[in-house]
Structure 1
Amino acid sequence: MTAAPPTIEHLGTPLAWTDHAGVLLGCNGAFARWLGVSPRRLLGLPLEDIDAEPPRLSDLLARLPLGADAPLHARRARLRAHAAGERFADLWLARLDDSVLIEVHPADEFPLEDYANTLPGALHAALKGLAHEVKNPLAGLKGAAQLLARRSDDADARRYIDVILHEVDRLGTLVDRLLNPAPPGETSPTNVHEALERVRLLAEAEAGWSVRLLRDYDPSLPEVTANADRLTQALWNLVRNAMEAGASEVKLRTRAEHNALIGDRALRIALRVEIEDDGRGVPDDLAERIFLPLVSGRAEGSGLGLTLAQQVAREHGGSLAYRSRAGHTVFTLLLPID
């Protein structure tokens, strides 16, 4: 096995390197400890031997172009070494002159199954019942807001009344969708920052001064093909989830992610939206079920917000993932850029 340089050997980040055929040439101690085996047992192994989802790693290696400007990012990869059990991680793969470097970021806090594909019929019936319960109060809210709009001459008040009316209409559409499932609405070129700004306005109206909302936008990002209302709904659910977790600060961040993977689909570029907060974090007992419908860490919570956000991500060919600890939680929405 190729010995790791001292600077790499003492790093806490797990690192390994292979030849261009995918045979392991070496690793640092952090990588071997993370997999639960000795470095010598990894010498000469093909990637398939530590891949818990073969041939995913081999396929990723084949997609990694020579001379790429940025590494290829693989989300939620599953690795294993003999009887040591499976490990979950985000991987960054980069081609060097005569090898491929694999940087590992362990992510054991969210080894989530795709529960959305196994939603039982009884749960669907419960959602429809909940939608019926919501429909009548929404009609009352809309009538009250329309009455206020006719009586108010204050420009600031009218601005918030318009927000209420817009949101009532959007929630009414959402209720109709729960009662009568249909294909996603029409898509069009959408500026994600406009959706985020609407969400920010909603959050400020709801939380007042109790939550500080920060923006960290990349203004150079292109538009994405999306249903603007559905995208706004997903982002609002994520921000509201942060506020309900006791956050005093929520950051809205956008970036371009090069050589991104959504599922096993490699993209030259994707749009990354992060909702970061300093709240309580995801409870340990909910970590593997957080995207399930009707699962909530609060007694008064509906348990629908994150489920719907994940559904919207899928409708747009994207993904929704998270990492969390007390005081620092980040939900990451990835969307393809045409």
Structure 2
Amino acid sequence: MSLLRGNPYDAFDHLATMVAVLKADGRCVYANAAFEAVLGLPRRALQKSRMFDWFVESHLLQSTFRAVVDNEYSTGRLEALLRRAPGNNGDPLPVHAIVTQIDHGEQVLLELVEIEQQSRQDRETRTLDQVRVTKELIRNLAHEIKNPLGGIRGAAQLLEMELDDKSLTEYTQVIIHEADRLQALVDRLLAPHRRPHIVAEVNIHEVLERVRSLVLAEFSKGLVIVRDYDASLPEFRGDREQLIQAVLNITHNAALALTQRRQDGDARIVLRTRAARQVTIDRTRYRLALDLHIEDNGPGVPAEIRDRIFFPLVSGRDGGSGLGLTLAQDFIQQHHGLIECESEAGRTVFKIQIPLP
């Protein structure tokens, strides 16, 4: 394998992981854009330094590097602490380091993966797998429930017509009412699979302004919704109504969770948009993505359901259907995106990422 033809390193700038090409003595030949961003140093400065200066207690890394250079083995892996510039969140960063021999031992490729990033990717994979299984389960279960419900309702209506004692119709009305309620629930479960996907150019800030006006119309007292928009974000192809519904479901849930804060007059929701670069979603790499955060200062998602909030019929609120976040995740996935949640007392953030052109 040779990395010396043409301009061999340009492709590394498209990676989210940190990559450096090193000489056998540890001097840096090349560092990619991710390395620059994380260390907080320009590429020229990195190329004048030795790899071992970038790490806290680099003895194990040096011995692994030397073993790879001496061809004792072709690849070495270890955990390490990466130094960062004082002005760039100067705390050391835990990383998983992969040291690989290239160019017949003349050079070494160093790849660093943030341990938190790896954990996030593993968590994302689990979430997506769970969502797919859940979606299929919902569809099958809803269809199984739908047909018997119609029979139950019809039988209750016929029974009501045959009753001589009209006081007993109270009971048949309960059956009909509950059958209708379950039918409405099934319809909501099946809604994402029935409605056609209407794709057009979407401005995410128009979507957020629509959601903001709807929520403030319902919760007019004690709630502030703060705009924190990146006006440079491009439009993208999407289903505007689905996006409005997804963001509305999350924001409405946040407003409901802020009941005490609203009574105290200090309830706050922040709608924040940013551009994220070199993002991986569902094992696919995207050059640019929308990073949309919906943050509130409420009590947080209950710990016992935090890992299951996107599952159907899971709700932390009395009387909640437990479908709002399930549908939101489904709608965002139809845009090749993903929703994640971080929550603690006093701060909950729902993070939506959608690829951008």
- The 2-side partners of 1:205 and 1:305 are apart by 19
Q: State the Cα deviation string for residues 127-151 of structure 1 (Å, max 9, x = none).
A: 6779x9xxxxxxxxxxxxxxxxxxx
* 1:269 is aligned to 2:265: no
Q: CA RMSD in A?
A: 4.2
Q: Does structure 2 retain, via aligned residues, the 8 Å contact 1:203–1:240?
A: yes
Give the alignment partner of residue 222 of structure 1, picking from 223, 229, 234.
Answer: 234
* 1:196 is aligned to 2:208: yes
Relative to 1, partners in 2 of residues 1:127 and 1:329: Cα closer, same or farther, differing over 3 Å?
farther
Relative to 1, partners in 2 of residues 1:243 and 1:39: Cα closer, same or farther, differing over 3 Å?
farther
Q: Which runs of 5+ in 2 are unaligned?
A: 1-16, 23-50, 69-73, 80-94, 98-107, 150-183, 262-266
Q: Which secondary structure does the structure 1 equivalent of 2:221 belong to?
A: helix
Quote the residue 2:338 is aligned against. Answer: 319
Give, as a single letter, the amino acid of the residue that structure 2 aligns with 1:333.
I
Structure 1 window deviating more from structure 2 (252-261 vs 181-190): it is 181-190
| 1:1-338 alignment, distance < 5 Å | 20=21, 43=64, 99-105=110-116, 111=123, 112-113=126-127, 114-119=129-134, 123-124=138-139, 175=187, 178=190, 181-182=193-194, 184-246=196-258, 248-338=267-357
Relative to 1, partners in 2 of residues 1:335 and 1:122: Cα closer, same or farther, differing over 3 Å?
closer
Q: Does structure 2 retain, via aligned residues, the 8 Å contact 1:29–1:39?
A: no
Query: How far is 1:276 from its partner?
Result: 0.9
Query: How far is 1:17 from its partner?
Result: 7.3
Give, as a single letter, the amino acid of the residue that structure 1 aligns with 2:132.
N
Q: Does structure 1 retain, via aligned residues, the 8 Å contact 2:96–2:113?
A: no
Query: How far is 1:266 from its partner?
Result: 1.3
Quote the residue 1:139 is aligned against. Answer: none
Which structure features the higher share of helix residues? 2
Higher Rg of the two aligned structures:
2
- The 2-side partners of 1:270 and 1:290 are apart by 24
- The 2-side partners of 1:331 and 1:127 are apart by 28
Give, as a single letter, the amino acid of the residue that structure 1 aligns with 2:331.
V
Q: Please, what TM-score do these two structures have when normalized by structure 1?
A: 0.57
- The 2-side partners of 1:237 and 1:42 are apart by 53
- The 1-side partners of 2:309 and 2:76 are apart by 31
Q: Which runs of 5+ in 1 are unaligned?
A: 1-15, 33-37, 52-77, 81-96, 133-171
- The 2-side partners of 1:285 and 1:79 are apart by 31
Relative to 1, partners in 2 of residues 1:49 and 1:299: Cα closer, same or farther, differing over 3 Å?
farther
- The 2-side partners of 1:103 and 1:329 are apart by 23
Runs of 4+ in 1 over 6 A off after TM superposition: 45-48, 106-110
How many residues are paired up?
234
Q: Does structure 2 retain, via aligned residues, the 8 Å contact 1:321–1:331?
A: yes
- The 2-side partners of 1:41 and 1:286 are apart by 44
Q: Please, what TM-score do these two structures have when normalized by structure 2?
A: 0.54
- The 1-side partners of 2:276 and 2:344 are apart by 24
Q: State the Cα deviation string for residues 178-222 of structure 1 (Å, max 9, x = none).
A: 268336422000111111011001110111122110001111211
Pick 1 or 2: higher relative contact order, CA cutoff 8 A, min separation 6.
1
Q: Does structure 1 retain, via aligned residues, the 8 Å contact 2:201–2:236?
A: yes
Identity of aligned residues (%): 32
- The 1-side partners of 2:313 and 2:240 are apart by 25
Q: Which secondary structure does the structure 2 equivalent of 1:324 belong to?
A: strand
Q: Which secondary structure does the structure 1 equivalent of 2:325 belong to?
A: helix
Q: State the Cα deviation string for residues 103-141 of structure 1 (Å, max 9, x = none).
A: 4447979935332222287754776779x9xxxxxxxxx
Q: Does structure 2 retain, via aligned residues, the 8 Å contact 1:213–1:250?
A: yes
Q: Which secondary structure does the structure 2 equivalent of 1:116 belong to?
A: helix
Relative to 1, partners in 2 of residues 1:328 and 1:42: Cα closer, same or farther, differing over 3 Å?
farther
- The 2-side partners of 1:226 and 1:205 are apart by 26
Q: Does structure 1 retain, via aligned residues, the 8 Å contact 2:273–2:290?
A: yes
- The 2-side partners of 1:119 and 1:79 are apart by 33
Relative to 1, partners in 2 of residues 1:181 and 1:105: Cα closer, same or farther, differing over 3 Å?
closer
- The 2-side partners of 1:221 and 1:305 are apart by 27
